[in-house]
């Protein structure tokens, strides 16, 4: 591969609730880039990120930040101002994907099925049932299943965490219908939907611990589902990627209810900066199709640009 860029600043860490995951993603990406001949320098992002980047003098920026500030358009806007080529999605797509309710509105316009839901205050969600159970409560602008709760039939009231003074995940929450069935995910690399992975876990649901703890989940790829459902997931992932205006690597998460009429698949959300840890799904799918992790990271870097 011909290299447009040589010195790469890998942004990691930051100060969102997903800091630890980002530290792992950034370290893994930097190691892979160095392995294939780049000069990758790791930057643990602080609010003084502009100066950190000026000191590093990179040719391009590999954004391995997750969650608020790093994945919601804020850092992307800074990189545009600094006129630094950067990876993954741009300002608008990042902001839309991070705001789950606005992303659902885009999906609706694009005829991409998504569970019905609405925004309420966390005080309202904590006060009693806000829709018929079972339903899901989740922060409207967080990733990695941070702060997600399932309210089931017979539950007396929503979790006490919603009223805790330590809650730092925003005052608005998304409540949406719980879709029973199977957890599926599809990574999109540029204009190519890779494959379908099924995720199973022995925990209550696919939460933060299931995603990142060793043994927290099992990945089956390709997913053992009917070919028609595979095709549907691949099509929906690529359409969602395009509808939001995503660039580079993204990952769409789905619920598949095999007992519903028409074998219904629902798109839950898009991750514009999928994890790059040892348990991450997008690198696993790329490897399944013959793209090694260093090759994937190099592709992400060479796709970098300004004004994404």
274 and 60 Cβ atoms separated by less than 8 Å = no
What is the residue whose two structure tokens read 């990189």?
79
144 and 21 Cβ atoms separated by less than 8 Å = yes
138 and 206 Cβ atoms separated by less than 8 Å = no
Catalytic residue among 182, 275, 284, 308: 275
What is the residue whose two structure tokens read 């339903």?
135
Catalytic residue among 212, 247, 255, 256: 212
Residue 271 falls in the annotated catalytic set: yes
Partnered with residue 199 across adjacent β-strands are 183, 219
Task: Please state, in angstroms and rounded to a whole number, the distance separating the CA atoms of residues 293 and 282.
Answer: 10
Catalytic residue among 42, 72, 176, 253: 253
Provide φ and ψ at 252, rounded to 5°. -105, 135
Task: Please state, in angstroms and rounded to a whole number, the distance separating the CA atoms of residues 118 and 116.
Answer: 7
Task: Please state, in angstroms and rounded to a whole number, the distance separating the CA atoms of residues 271 and 265.
Answer: 17
Catalytic residue among 114, 144, 250, 280: 144
Handedness of CA 94, 96, 99, 103 (dihedral sign): negative
Residue 157 falls in the annotated catalytic set: no
Catalytic residue among 5, 13, 14, 18: 18
212 and 146 Cβ atoms separated by less than 8 Å = no
The sheet carrying 60-63 orders its strands as 39-44, 7-12, 60-63
Would you tell me how many other CB atoms lie within 10 Å of the CB of residue 40? Answer: 23
Catalytic residue among 19, 251, 255, 308: 251
Residue 257 falls in the annotated catalytic set: no
Stated as kind and residue range, the H or E segment containing 98 is helix 91-98
How far apart are the two ends of the chain, measured CA to CA in Å?
22
Q: 201 burial class (0-12, 13-18, 19+ CB within 10 angstroms)?
A: middle
Catalytic residue among 63, 94, 250, 271: 271
Partnered with residue 184 across adjacent β-strands are 198, 254
Catalytic residue among 269, 280, 284, 303: 269
Residue 253 falls in the annotated catalytic set: yes
Question: Two tokens at 205?
Answer: 């649901």
Enumerate the active-site residues: 18, 144, 212, 251, 253, 269, 271, 275
């Amino acid at each position: 591969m011909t290299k447009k860029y040589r010195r790469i600043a890998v942004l990691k860490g930051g100060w969102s609730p997903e800091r630890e995951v980002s530290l792992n993603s950034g370290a893994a990406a930097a190691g892979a880039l160095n392995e294939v001949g780049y000069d990758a320098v790791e930057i643990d992002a602080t609010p003084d990120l502009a100066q950190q980047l000026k000191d590093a003098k990179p040719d391009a920026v590999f954004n391995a930040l997750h969650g608020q500030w790093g994945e919601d358009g804020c850092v992307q806007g800074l990189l545009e101002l600094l006129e630094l080529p950067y990876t993954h999605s741009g300002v608008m797509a990042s902001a839309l994907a991070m705001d789950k309710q606005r992303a659902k509105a885009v999906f609706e316009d694009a005829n991409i099925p998504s569970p019905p839901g609405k925004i309420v205050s966390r005080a309202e969600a904590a006060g009693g049932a806000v829709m018929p159970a079972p339903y899901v409560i989740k922060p409207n602008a967080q990733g990695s299943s941070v702060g997600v709760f399932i309210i089931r039939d017979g539950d007396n009231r929503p979790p006490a965490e919603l009223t805790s003074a330590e809650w730092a995940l925003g005052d608005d929450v998304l409540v949406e219908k719980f879709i029973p069935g199977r957890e599926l995910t599809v990574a999109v690399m540029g204009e190519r939907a890779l494959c379908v992975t099924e995720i199973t876990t022995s925990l209550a649901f696919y939460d933060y611990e299931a995603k990142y703890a060793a043994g927290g989940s099992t990945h089956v790829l390709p997913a053992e589902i009917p070919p028609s459902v595979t095709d549907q997931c691949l099509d929906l992932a690529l359409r969602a990627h395009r509808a939001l205006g995503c660039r580079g690597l993204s990952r769409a998460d789905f619920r598949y209810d095999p007992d519903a009429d028409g074998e219904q698949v629902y798109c839950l959300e898009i991750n514009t900066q999928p994890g790059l840890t040892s348990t991450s799904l997008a690198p696993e799918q790329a490897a399944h199709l013959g793209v090694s992790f260093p090759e994937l990271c190099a592709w992400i870097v060479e796709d970098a640009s300004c004004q994404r």
